[in-house]
Amino acid sequence: RKEVEQDPGPFNVPEGATVAFNCTYSNSASQSFFWYRQDCRKEPKLLMSVYSSGNEDGRFTAQLNRASQYISLLIRDSKLSDSATYLCVVGDYNQGGKLIFGQGTELSVKP
């Protein structure tokens, strides 16, 4: 079983749609959680950190369920510019803080 698993997609949605990505992780000792965005094989960039209480940044909402070892990302009112691959990332301080990446979920937003 992979340490971090995501549905690879692709998710094809129309502009304005709401789309949700899910991610599960296997290491119960994991302590830090992130969503990264990657465009067309360019370098990944941080989209948002994920906190236990859940957090929101504009159209993006991230949730963490430690009991189920599950992370989610919700994108509301999708824009064409949201088309990218979204990477779920999990870190463990007990392993020196190294970050483990899921394989990514591809999103394509169509006009």
Partner 1 sequence: DAEITQSPRHKITETGRQVTLACHQTWNHNNMFWYRQDLGHGLRLIHYSYGVQDTNKGEVSDGYSVSRSNTEDLPLTLESAASSQTSVYFCASKPGGTGELFFGEGSRLTVL
Q: How far apart are CA 86 and CA 15, in angstroms?
A: 17
**What x/- string results for residues 44 through 63 when contact with partner 1 is judged by CB under 8 A?**
xxx--x--------------
Q: How far is the CB of 16 from partner 1 (least distance, A)?
A: 29
Q: How far is the CB of 46 from partner 1 (least distance, A)?
A: 5
Q: How far apart are CA 37 and CA 27, in angstroms?
A: 22
91 belongs to the binding site for partner 1 (CB under 8 A): yes
Query: Applying CB under 8 A, which part among 11-19, 22-30, 66-74, 97-105 lies near partner 1?
Result: 97-105
23 belongs to the binding site for partner 1 (CB under 8 A): no
99 belongs to the binding site for partner 1 (CB under 8 A): yes
